[in-house]
A and B are shown apart, each in its own frame.
Chain A
C-alpha cells in the first residue's frame, strides 16, 4: 500500500491545442470577473481569436512533427492523423464563427429585456451585455477537441459534456425572439442530458462486459469474446443512441430544427458546423476502434439509421417554411450521407478510403454551413432576422450579390459539380460503393435529388419571384460577417474546383487510420 504512485506521462506538446483553448477560456472567465465592463469585449475578441489561431498553429506543428504511434496521456487521448485533421477543421470553423459572433445585434443583454426597450438600454448601459459568449465558446471548442480525440469512453464523456453544456447556454442568448431561444435552450438541455445518460449507461454495460473503458481495451476484449453478450449488445446500442443524438441522426433528430431555429444564428453556425465534425470523430472512434470487432451486429442497425436519416432529413426539409429549420433538416440529411461512410468498413485500405472521404466531407460541409448561416444573419426586417421563407422572395432582385452567394451555398449543399459538396458526396458514396453498401448509395442519391428540390426551390424563390413591398432589407454586414461569407464562399469554390490538396491531406490523415 505504501509505494509511491507512478506519475502519469503527459505529452504536453501534442495536447497543446486543447491546453491553449482551455487556458484561454479560463483567462476569459477571469476577464469577466475583473475587467471593467466597457473593456471586456475588446479584450475577449483578440484573446479568443488568438487562442484559436495558436491552437491551430500547434495542431499543424503536431502534424508536421510526424504522427505519434501510440495514444497520449496514458491512453486517454489519441492524437492521430484523423484527430489532427478534425482538430484543424474545428479550430478554423470556430475561428470563422467567432467573427460572426462578434456582431452585438444578435445577443441579448439581459434575458428579460425586450429588444429596443428602456429595460434593454438600462441593461446595456450598466454593461450586462453577454460577453460570456467568448469564454463559453472556448470551453465548447475545447470540449469538441477532447470529444473527437478521446481514446477511452470516460474521457469521451467528459469531452461530450464540456462541449455540450456551454452550447446549451449559448442557445438561449438570442436578442430577438427570446422565448423561442430560451425554449430551444431548455429543449436542447433536457434532450441532451437524456442522451448523455444513455451514453453513460451504455458505457457502464460495455464496461460490465469488457472490464475496461479504453477503446483499445474494448476492442481487444471483443476479440477474446467471453461473458454476457446481451450486456455488450445493449451497451453498444446505448452508446450509439448517445452519439447519434449529437449528430442528429434519425430517429434522434427532433431537437435539431428547434434548436437551430431558436439559437442566435451565429451560434447555430458554430453548432451546425463544428459539433457535427467533433461528433463524427467520436462516432468513428467508438464504432471502428472499440466496436470494430462487432460490426456484424451494429452494421445492420446503422444501415437502417443511415437510410432513415437521409430520407427523413430530405423529406421533412421540403415542408419547412423557415430558412433555419430548413437548413437544420438539410443538416440531418447530410449526417445521413456521412453515416454511409461510417458503414463502409472493410480491409484497412477500404477503411482509410472511407475515413478520408468523411474527413473531406466534414471540411467541405462545415465551411458551406457557416457561410449559409452568415447570410441568414444579414437578411433582416423590423423584427430581426427574416426567417420565414416567404420573406426571402425576390431577394435576388434586391441584392443579387448576396442572393447569388447564398444560392451558391445551397448548390454546394445539393452537391452540384464545381462546388465542394460534389466532391464530398462523391468521395463518401464512392467509398460506400467499394465497401459494398450499394443500396445505401442508391438511397443517398435519391435523397440528394429530393434535397436538391428544396434547395433549388429557395433559389427560384429568391430570383424568380417578385419581392414583397415591405420585404426584408439586407443589413449592412460588419467586417466580420463579410469576412465570414467571403471565406466560406472561397472555401466552397476552392474545394469544389481544386480539391486535390485537401483530398491529399485527408488521405494522409486517414492513411494510418486511428491509433489504438
Chain B
C-alpha cells in the first residue's frame, strides 16, 4: 500500500490545484472581453454552427492529428529507454537509433510531401 501513497498524494495535490485555480480565477483575473476571447481555445475549427450537410473536416487537421500520434508513440518508446538507458547498453542504443531513424524517414516523407505546410 505504501507504494501507492505518493500517487494518492499527487492526485490530491492535482485536484486541489485545479479546484483552487478555477475558483480563484474569476476573482483575480482582469476581464477585458474581445472577439478573440470568444474563439475556440488554441486551435481547431469552430464547433458551432455546424457547416451545411453535416460538416467535413479539412484534411490538414487529420494529418496534424496523425503526425501527433506518430511522435507521441515515439516518445512512449523513448521514455522507458531513457529510464533504463544504463542497463540496456549498446544494444538498446542501436535499437533506439534504428527506431528513431525509421520515424525520421516518415517525418522526411511528410515534410517533402508538404504535410507540414498549413496553407
- Please list the residues of chain A having a beta carbon within 8 angstroms of any beta carbon in chain B: 2-5, 7-8, 26, 29-30, 32-34
* B46 CB to nearest chain A CB (Å): 25
* B84 CB to nearest chain A CB (Å): 7
B89 at interface by CB-CB < 8 Å: yes
* A495 CB to nearest chain B CB (Å): 39
| Contact across chains for A3 and B87 when beta carbons are under 8 A apart | yes
Binds A, one of B11-19, B29-37, B48-56, B104-112: B104-112
| Contact across chains for B87 and A32 when beta carbons are under 8 A apart | no
| Contact across chains for B88 and A5 when beta carbons are under 8 A apart | yes
Interface residue range, chain B:
10 to 19
Interface pairs A-B: 8 shortest CB-CB: A7-B91, A33-B112, A33-B109, A5-B87, A33-B108, A4-B87, A29-B109, A29-B105
Residues of A within 8 A of B109 (CB): 29-30, 32-33
* B86 CB to nearest chain A CB (Å): 8
* B65 CB to nearest chain A CB (Å): 16
| Contact across chains for B106 and A5 when beta carbons are under 8 A apart | no
Residues of A within 8 A of B102 (CB): 26
- Within the assembled complex, what's the spacing in Å between the Cα atoms of A29 and B105? 7
Closest residue of chain B to A135 (Cβ to Cβ) is B109
- A7-B112 contact, Cβ under 8 Å, with A26-B105, A30-B105: no
Classify the secondary structure of B's interface with A.
helix
- Within the assembled complex, what's the spacing in Å between the Cα atoms of A60 and B87? 38
Residues of A within 8 A of B113 (CB): 32-33
| Contact across chains for A4 and B108 when beta carbons are under 8 A apart | no
Residues of B within 8 A of A34 (CB): 108, 112
B91-103 Cβ-contact flags toward A at 8 Å (1 or 0): 1100000000010
- Within the assembled complex, what's the spacing in Å between the Cα atoms of A374 and B71? 40
* A442 CB to nearest chain B CB (Å): 51
* B81 CB to nearest chain A CB (Å): 11
- Within the assembled complex, what's the spacing in Å between the Cα atoms of A33 and B106? 9
Closest residue of chain B to A1 (Cβ to Cβ) is B87
Closest residue of chain A to B110 (Cβ to Cβ) is A33
Closest residue of chain B to A7 (Cβ to Cβ) is B91
* A316 CB to nearest chain B CB (Å): 34
Pairs across A and B, CB under 8 Å, 22 listed: A2-B86, A3-B87, A4-B87, A4-B88, A5-B84, A5-B87, A5-B88, A5-B89, A5-B92, A7-B89, A7-B91, A7-B92, A26-B102, A29-B105, A29-B109, A30-B108, A32-B109, A32-B112, A32-B113, A33-B111, A33-B113, A34-B112
| Contact across chains for B87 and A2 when beta carbons are under 8 A apart | yes
* A453 CB to nearest chain B CB (Å): 46
Closest residue of chain A to B90 (Cβ to Cβ) is A7
Q: Which of B86, B87, B90, B102 has the most CB of A within 10 A?
A: B87
Q: Which of B105, B111, B112 has the most CB of A within 10 A?
A: B105
Residues of A within 8 A of B89 (CB): 4-5, 7
* A131 CB to nearest chain B CB (Å): 12
- Within the assembled complex, what's the spacing in Å between the Cα atoms of A16 and B104? 23
* A239 CB to nearest chain B CB (Å): 25
20 further contact pairs, Cβ within 8 A, besides A5-B88, A7-B91, A30-B109: A2-B86, A2-B87, A3-B87, A4-B86, A5-B84, A5-B89, A5-B92, A7-B88, A7-B89, A7-B90, A8-B91, A26-B105, A29-B105, A29-B109, A30-B105, A32-B109, A33-B105, A33-B112, A33-B113, A34-B112
Residues of B within 8 A of A33 (CB): 105, 108-109, 111-113
Q: Which of B91, B106, B111, B113 has the most CB of A within 10 A?
A: B91
- Within the assembled complex, what's the spacing in Å between the Cα atoms of A5 and B89? 8
| Contact across chains for B87 and A29 when beta carbons are under 8 A apart | no
Closest residue of chain A to B113 (Cβ to Cβ) is A33
- Within the assembled complex, what's the spacing in Å between the Cα atoms of A316 and B111? 48
- Within the assembled complex, what's the spacing in Å between the Cα atoms of A201 and B86? 35
Residues of A within 8 A of B87 (CB): 2-5
